[in-house]
Structure 1
């Protein structure tokens, strides 16, 4: 694997989350977000400039739009839209005191505004799924948008919260799942008096299912996460993981999900009960969170976390590659070969603040290649940190990452080597 492009160090450039590719269909245009600063959380007046690089020809940034709805972790959900993946881009913005979706054609300059900010969009560009970003503002620092402080959403449980389906053509928004439905789906004691929200929506490759996390913060400060799948019309809700330990995931194919989390064990089972969590778990939480913040190996031993393979709509789930992939990361599988897994690690003190990018062959259970990049140490444990968030091109030939080395945020583009290309065929 070799680096073929890096954004210039004249400004800060980044893209955002790992489930969206910045590359168009023929990999000639690289989308990017440009910021004039890099060392603090964005405020409501900070404008992010959106554009692209014709990276094979030049390192000149071509600006096309701006947004006020963004964060360092996920950007503004910028990506190419539709089957062509070449002229239309989609992103979120804040306009007239509303979080909205914008579709912009970089060739015709036609801009379309949709009534709700989106989270994940179907591959053909016909519909998207959304969360309530006004509620997210109060409960998810680092992943929220600034500028709208709706105090009605600042409650532990918002009965109007849920998941919405946004029809791209007719601009219609329909709530397909309510928070109340989740609270009444196999309820457990720790749900009571906790703060609930929904995030990390991701459509399957064929757009027939969507995965998401229902999370709640208990009075102990501990987080409980459930992994669900659902049809895009809101039917056939299925609880895939109820251990309470669930982090990043991806669709391996149309029916399997691979993600970082824990299976049921005595510790995870105890967290379902408020009193047990309060008197037995809460006293040791400071030490546990300290271990987690350092991404220490011992934290995985305590929680039992590892990568897990889930079969959708079944109880089939089991740990995979626990002896090789030992840290939480941001996984993706090549569409051309589901056995090739791309993931990364967080910067941590144990690794001298280096972040690693792994290309993992699941059939051989071995690493094929990796790179190692040192993160700006000052921001490692802040919401300003820059995860690599490896993003795979639509044809599986390129990987883009975000970096924060020295004093600039940059995007680096890598071409996957011939050995992996042959395996992907």
Structure 2
């Protein structure tokens, strides 16, 4: 355990390291960073992608990863990546599991362990004129194909949620997949496109929420008729009873009529059958988020009349409260460490003026902020092909995995030992 004097020093150093209030304290913080171990090597590049999926198997021995032989450009239709896992108890040995032609730099191919299973993983791929999902037992090698790509899996492991990744790529390159075209290239909000529930045993799918239905709901008193609509960032609640999605839209170009300019966002929640739709964050500014529990969502946003920051929203109510007010002042990719009663929040920052990315832990009851390191992001990692750290935790919450190219070998996986921090 860490005594109070050390805790206060780490908090001060953490603030300085994250927000640059003192060079001296930032230097002090660097001596307190927890140990880091790199588990993948060049010449090929390795990364996992997003922060809200299981990367570690139930034993915390195997760590999933994507593998690719190039960087610094957008994927092309013929680009294939390998998917595999690292055996961290046997010399960080790479074990190939399969391949994918449905991937992006930010979220990979949605590679993840299937909740409720010991040895099964899932990832997205492309077959001829459709995106699909591969389901594989990493021990027996048994593999099956689902006729739909999966965005996120329910915590009970029974179903996944899906959307049109081609439309998503068109609306926000880097988050969807190349290789197929938007099925509705001229429709602003198609009625037969939206969020689908996919049975992971049978592959059967059901449309839950359509773009057309959501586009009809006014935004702050104004209609959204003349906008291009799409969905992004789906996540099922811990009890598998409700789900989140971000409804986003872009303007039409005055001359070409195509999607134009930036996007606006609002967060919805809904029952698993698509009913009881609720606008949880109507601000237009929702960014990264995570379910804290079945009734609450923690997100980075800028609520009307408040400062931007991390806020906890109570589902289906207007109740909100800020996390780390005055301390957590930068957007990042946030989760809660398992086994800590939601007292420890894990997140990161985007590159600072020195292009350092800074994952950190924040102890909510004591406002203790603990930096986990400073990871340099070379200037060539920008835009769609940037490499965010996207911190992900092990099943026991004592190890953090990040993506980072700071070692000079391209993007690789790195493990951070936080066991002494959380005690």
Cα offset, 1:56, TM superposition: 2.0
The 3-state SS of whatever aligns with 1:191 is: coil
Contact kept in structure 2, 1:330 and 1:389, CA below 8 Å: yes
Q: Where has structure 1 moved over 4 Å in runs of 4 or more?
A: none
Cα offset, 1:186, TM superposition: 4.2
Report whether the alignment pairs 1:221 with 2:222.
Answer: no
Distance 1:205 1:61 in 2: 31
Contact kept in structure 2, 1:334 and 1:396, CA below 8 Å: yes
Aligned residue among 332, 339, 355 for 2:343: 339
Report whether the alignment pairs 1:246 with 2:286.
Answer: yes
- Which residue of 1 is the match for residue 372 of structure 2? 370
Distance 2:223 2:307 in 1: 20
The one-character-per-residue Cα deviations of 1:223-246 (angstroms, maximum 9, x if unpaired) are 221111111111111111111111
Change (3 A) 1:237 1:150: closer
Change (3 A) 1:186 1:156: closer
Contact kept in structure 2, 1:52 and 1:61, CA below 8 Å: yes
Aligned residue among 35, 48, 52 for 1:2: 35
Contact kept in structure 2, 1:5 and 1:55, CA below 8 Å: no
Change (3 A) 1:378 1:419: closer
- Which residue of 2 is the match for residue 165 of structure 1? 197
- Which residue of 2 is the match for residue 395 of structure 1? 396
- Which residue of 1 is the match for residue 24 of structure 2? none
Change (3 A) 1:318 1:124: closer
Cα offset, 1:158, TM superposition: 2.4
Distance 2:215 2:71 in 1: 39
The 3-state SS of whatever aligns with 2:104 is: coil
- Which residue of 2 is the match for residue 299 of structure 1? none
Map 1:164-203; keep pairs closer than 5 Å: 164-187=196-219, 188-189=221-222, 191-203=224-236
The 3-state SS of whatever aligns with 1:247 is: coil
Contact kept in structure 1, 2:399 and 2:419, CA below 8 Å: no
Distance 1:157 1:70 in 2: 24
Q: Which runs of 5 or more structure 2 residues have no equivalent in the other structure?
A: 1-33, 253-259
Contact kept in structure 2, 1:115 and 1:173, CA below 8 Å: no
Report whether the alignment pairs 1:16 with 2:18.
Answer: no
Cα offset, 1:4, TM superposition: 3.7
Greater shift, 1-10 or 236-245, is seen at 1-10
Report whether the alignment pairs 1:314 with 2:317.
Answer: yes
- Which residue of 2 is the match for residue 275 of structure 1? none
Task: Normalising by structure 2, report the TM-score.
Answer: 0.86
The 3-state SS of whatever aligns with 1:223 is: strand
The 3-state SS of whatever aligns with 1:152 is: coil
TM-align CA RMSD: 1.7
Distance 1:414 1:223 in 2: 34
Cα offset, 1:159, TM superposition: 2.5
- Which residue of 2 is the match for residue 124 of structure 1? 156
Map 1:293-304; keep pairs closer than 5 Å: 304=307
Distance 1:408 1:323 in 2: 35
- Which residue of 1 is the match for residue 133 of structure 2? 101
Contact kept in structure 2, 1:403 and 1:409, CA below 8 Å: yes
- Which residue of 1 is the match for residue 405 of structure 2? 404
Map 1:75-86; keep pairs closer than 5 Å: 75-84=108-117, 86=118
Distance 1:370 1:122 in 2: 30
The 3-state SS of whatever aligns with 1:17 is: coil
The 3-state SS of whatever aligns with 1:319 is: strand
Distance 1:198 1:174 in 2: 16
Distance 1:128 1:321 in 2: 33
Cα offset, 1:190, TM superposition: 5.5
Cα offset, 1:317, TM superposition: 1.3
The one-character-per-residue Cα deviations of 1:356-403 (angstroms, maximum 9, x if unpaired) are 0010001111203321100011223x2110000011122212111101
Figure out how many residues of one structure are paired with residues of the other and give that number: 380
Change (3 A) 1:4 1:148: same
The 3-state SS of whatever aligns with 1:181 is: helix
- Which residue of 1 is the match for residue 330 of structure 2? 327
Contact kept in structure 2, 1:398 and 1:413, CA below 8 Å: yes
The 3-state SS of whatever aligns with 2:166 is: helix
Report whether the alignment pairs 1:205 with 2:206.
Answer: no
